[in-house]
Amino acid sequence: MRWPSLCFIAAVCLGQGEDTPSAEAVLPSGATMQGWFRPGAKGWEFLSRGDKLVVPVSALHEVRFAGSQGTLPKARLLHRLLLARTESLVGELVELNEKQVRFLTSWGQPITVPRAQVCGIEQPRDVLTVALEDFEDPPQDWALSGASLATEHVFAGKKSLRVQGGQAAIWKLSARLAQGRLSACFFQEDAAAAEVTCSFEGDKAIRIKLGRLYEVDQAGAAFLTGSRGWHLLQVEFSTESVRVLVDDRVLTARRGAWALSGLRVAGLPATGPSWFDSVHLARRDPAPPHPPSTGQDEVWLAEGDQVFGSIVQADARGLVVQGRFGKNVYAWSQARGAYFAAKQAAPTGARDVQLWLTVGFGMPPDRLLGKLLAMGKETLELEHSILGKIAFPRKRLEKVAASR
């Protein structure tokens, strides 16, 4: 799109609106200007700082918002739902059948999408699931010492792992993992305290205390103030470094090779109970180039091969493909993604903008097209052709562009 001449730009001397955030507009030429994004008489527009130019969003490449950040997820961040027109959402695949896809978004909204409008489902950003323990049944690869499965607090499903006062649960990996990410949801009451120990090759370990403070066993390391409710612990490790995060905030970062070999979760003496759920281990595995689509249902395997057939069923655990010689079942540890025959119906409904919404926690942003209804101090509202009217925390807004 060419930059319009100045006769199409209204130069209006208006002050900053109380509810409009500071932003940066990017022109088609690549030049930038600072100002505010706001509703106008003919749609959303950008008011520049200084010379007070008013530019319609359709004349801009995009508008960026500083300081965008994700919110604590209310779903397991396992999959990426691919919709038409490059739209995508991070969250968890609940169920796929021949007619529809049920998906839980990162902000906890369950959605049901006609399968014809879904382009695919994939694992996000070069990671492949190794194991997912939701504690719905006694965990086979864990050794429990007093720890028990409980129903008082759950993040997903109906049960979680409960530890208190010296009780422990130990998971020893069958083979060390050189690089990847370990994540676990945990819930604590005000008087609770637990210790999570990650063991690494070479007799190395990192101990993370979760209680009144969230801290690691390292002098001078950062700490966070604990609070009641669900939180997300993440450990990112590689051949070069390791990072420990709680709620997407770094507690420690260290150099060196850190190959994960095990995990221990324990309650600390004379403290209340803690609950752990949805322990997810993923390996870092950059994807090779995706082969061109053939217009058929396909499962893209971890090593890069394609399996063609009808994808008849899928959920958070894996996929079922009906091929010429019968059914094949693939776990998500074997598959990068599933892509569907090009038959999606074009969604209806007004749309004037496309939004990029920060998810955080190492995930790519959500991307949605729709009609932006309102932007207040705390929230923004979008009318979407599939999701209907939805509201987001405004701090998630990363950038906006005209729908083209």
pLDDT digits (tens, 9 = 90+) for 146-183: 999 999 999 999 999 999 998 999 999 999 999 999 99
Residue type, 144: L
Structure tokens at 71: 């919110």
* pLDDT for 125: 77
Mean pLDDT of the 107-113 span: 92
- Mean pLDDT score of the chain: 90
Structure tokens at 230: 């669900």
CB 394 within 8 A of CB 69: no
Indicate if the pLDDT at residue 309 is higher than 70: yes
Looking up tokens 């429990």 gives 144
Helix (H) or strand (E) holding 306: strand 306-308
Structure tokens at 144: 């429990």
Please give the Cα distance from 185 to 190 (Å, whole number).
17
For Cα atoms 187, 317, 387, give the angle at the middle one, nearest 5 degrees: 75
The single-letter DSSP state of residue 27 is -
Tell me, rounded to whole angstroms, the distance of Cα 330 from its chain centroid. Answer: 23
Radius of gyration of the chain (CA): 24
* pLDDT for 345: 59
Tell me, rounded to whole angstroms, the distance of Cα 234 from its chain centroid. Answer: 13
Mean pLDDT of the 298-306 span: 92
3-state secondary structure 386-401: CCEEEEEEHHHEEEEE
Structure tokens at 287: 């994807």
Give residues with Cβ within 8 angstroms of 7, minimum separation 6. Answer: none
CATH 2.60.40 fits 1-66, yes or no: no
Residue type, 119: C
Please give the Cα distance from 106 to 77 (Å, whole number).
7
Please give the Cα distance from 190 to 11 (Å, whole number).
55
| Class of 130-284 in CATH | mainly beta
Indicate if the pLDDT at residue 133 is higher than 60: yes
Please give the Cα distance from 279 to 260 (Å, whole number).
14
Please give the Cα distance from 275 to 99 (Å, whole number).
36
**Residue 344 pLDDT level (bands cut at 50, 70, 90):** low
Please give the Cα distance from 71 to 267 (Å, whole number).
27
**Residue 358 pLDDT level (bands cut at 50, 70, 90):** very high
Please give the Cα distance from 23 to 398 (Å, whole number).
10
Indicate if the pLDDT at residue 360 is higher than 80: yes
Structure tokens at 339: 């892509």
Mean pLDDT of the 281-285 span: 95
* pLDDT for 349: 65
The single-letter DSSP state of residue 59 is G
Provide the strand spans (E) within 79-179.
79-83, 88-96, 100-105, 110-114, 118-122, 127-133, 142-145, 148-150, 160-163, 168-177
User: Could you tell me the pTM of the whole model?
Assistant: 0.88
Mean pLDDT of the 373-401 span: 91
* pLDDT for 15: 39
Lowest mean per-residue pLDDT among 5-9, 341-345, 371-375, 398-402 = 5-9
Q: How far is CA 227 from CA 214, 279, 347, in A?
A: 9, 20, 42
CA-based nearest residue to 90, from 356, 378, 388? 356
For Cα atoms 197, 143, 134, give the angle at the middle one, nearest 5 degrees: 80
**Residue 379 pLDDT level (bands cut at 50, 70, 90):** very high
For Cα atoms 126, 132, 136, give the angle at the middle one, nearest 5 degrees: 155
Every domain of the chain and the residues it spans: 1-66, 130-284
Query: In angstroms, how far apart are the furthest CA atoms of the chain?
Result: 75
* pLDDT for 60: 96
pLDDT digits (tens, 9 = 90+) for 43-72: 999 999 887 899 999 999 999 998 888 889
Give residues with Cβ within 8 angstroms of 323, minimum separation 6. Answer: 307, 308, 309, 310
pLDDT digits (tens, 9 = 90+) for 88-98: 999 999 999 99
Please give the Cα distance from 403 to 394 (Å, whole number).
19
Length of the chain in residues, anyone? 404
Indicate if the pLDDT at residue 1 is higher than 60: no
* pLDDT for 258: 97
* pLDDT for 191: 85
* pLDDT for 63: 96
Please give the Cα distance from 336 to 177 (Å, whole number).
18
What residues form DSSP beta bridges with 318?
Answer: 331
